[in-house]
Copies of this chain bind each other. A is one copy, B any other.
């Protein structure tokens, strides 16, 4: 269990403090080779909540991640429980047996420093940056679809005894600080006047005002917020956007699961899908005279589509192979061959529900990244504000339709087609 107050050994690490820490860990020291004097260290944290040090030794490399007691982007005025490092580590431990090499290897966790020493991913880059730069990653959708399917399936009652799931629910229900952030920043703040919000102004002022007066849209958002808080289907990463994925052309790794919680599977699905769609909408904003980015946009949309189809295929495969006893669903009462057709229909219906959840959560995520506190580089890197606003407005348009007219989107192809029809607009 996490401690609720900073332990006495806690101190914010700096470049001078990291080498003695690592030198005291024989396995890590052996991995790096040489001694502290031989190690090169730099701080590279670009997220909102942590310090991240990369350490190079003559024999190898490690990454050191430490939780800060406040939101880095806001400073000490926005305090933040250190326990999130505990939950990040607990998430990694829970999914590690099931997801193969899709997460970094964890070498050491220091519960007093709230600090994880893990595999340094190299030459990986942050997926979001790669997508903005026009890179393609041929196995991205396959890897991520499989990842979400496996991480969720194996941490749910579909694959494990209900007692184990209940213990997981109990443990991660302690991750209250970061869950509160999700509730406020995704499902509430963007629809209110809040000093934490910003948007591309004045270009989007009218649209933002319209959104904040759209009762039907807000009801839909509130309904997904309620689902987020009351449905505990599986252990979720909790923040699975394209900044939480590191890639090479052949590899994909999921990082930063500090928002981990038991919740609705559609929330992780929607986070990843929504961020791919945001990137697709941002592509015209990155067009140059040499490259209108239409082929990159087309590739991103193919990945969005394949992400769902791969998730669905993998999840159903696992379910057919692995459903167990009374803890499963449908479970032991439907094991007879005469039940097979009904079971198959029930599984399809369950996946249809996950699809609907994915679209709703994706839309909520898209809106919060344009109207709320934390924006995405996909749009922020578009320097021309009018051009950026045009991309953002198109993305907001789809998000609203996903929430208020979900019946228009019975398939992932319908979603991708809608993006194709609305994301081409150029403001200049």
Contacts of A338 in B (CB 8 A): 213, 215
Contacts of A332 in B (CB 8 A): 188, 192
Residue in B218, B219, B333 whose CB lies within 8 Å of A191: B333
The segment out of A15-23, A65-73, A220-228, A291-299 that lies at the interface is: A220-228
Contacts of A225 in B (CB 8 A): 329, 331
Instruction: Write the nearest CB–CB distance from A236 to chain B, whole angstroms.
Output: 13
Contacts of A343 in B (CB 8 A): 215, 219
Task: Tell me which residues from 179 to 229 in chain A have a Cβ below 8 Å from any Cβ of chain B.
Answer: 179-180, 183-184, 187-188, 191-192, 213, 215-216, 218-219, 221-223, 225-226, 229
How far is A176 from B165 in the complex, measured between Cα atoms in Å?
Answer: 10
Chain B residue nearest to A223 (CB atoms) is B346
Question: Given known contacts A179-B162, A218-B342, A232-B232, is B226 in contact with A188 (CB within 8 Å)?
Answer: no
How far is A221 from B342 in the complex, measured between Cα atoms in Å?
Answer: 12
**Oligomeric state, in number of copies?**
2
1/0 per position for A148-161, CB-CB distance to B under 8 A? 00000000010000
Asked if A118 lies at the interface with its beta carbon under 8 angstroms from chain B, I say no
When the two chains form their complex, are residues B173 and A167 in contact, meaning their CB atoms are under 8 A apart? yes
When the two chains form their complex, are residues B157 and A329 in contact, meaning their CB atoms are under 8 A apart? no
When the two chains form their complex, are residues B165 and A215 in contact, meaning their CB atoms are under 8 A apart? no
Asked if A341 lies at the interface with its beta carbon under 8 angstroms from chain B, I say yes
Asked if A326 lies at the interface with its beta carbon under 8 angstroms from chain B, I say yes
Asked if A170 lies at the interface with its beta carbon under 8 angstroms from chain B, I say yes
Question: Given known contacts A163-B176, A223-B346, A342-B218, is B333 in contact with A192 (CB within 8 Å)?
Answer: yes
When the two chains form their complex, are residues A162 and B334 in contact, meaning their CB atoms are under 8 A apart? no
Instruction: Write the nearest CB–CB distance from A370 to chain B, whole angstroms.
Output: 16
Asked if A290 lies at the interface with its beta carbon under 8 angstroms from chain B, I say no
**Closest 6 interchain pairs by CB?**
A215-B342, A170-B173, A222-B330, A191-B333, A188-B326, A166-B173
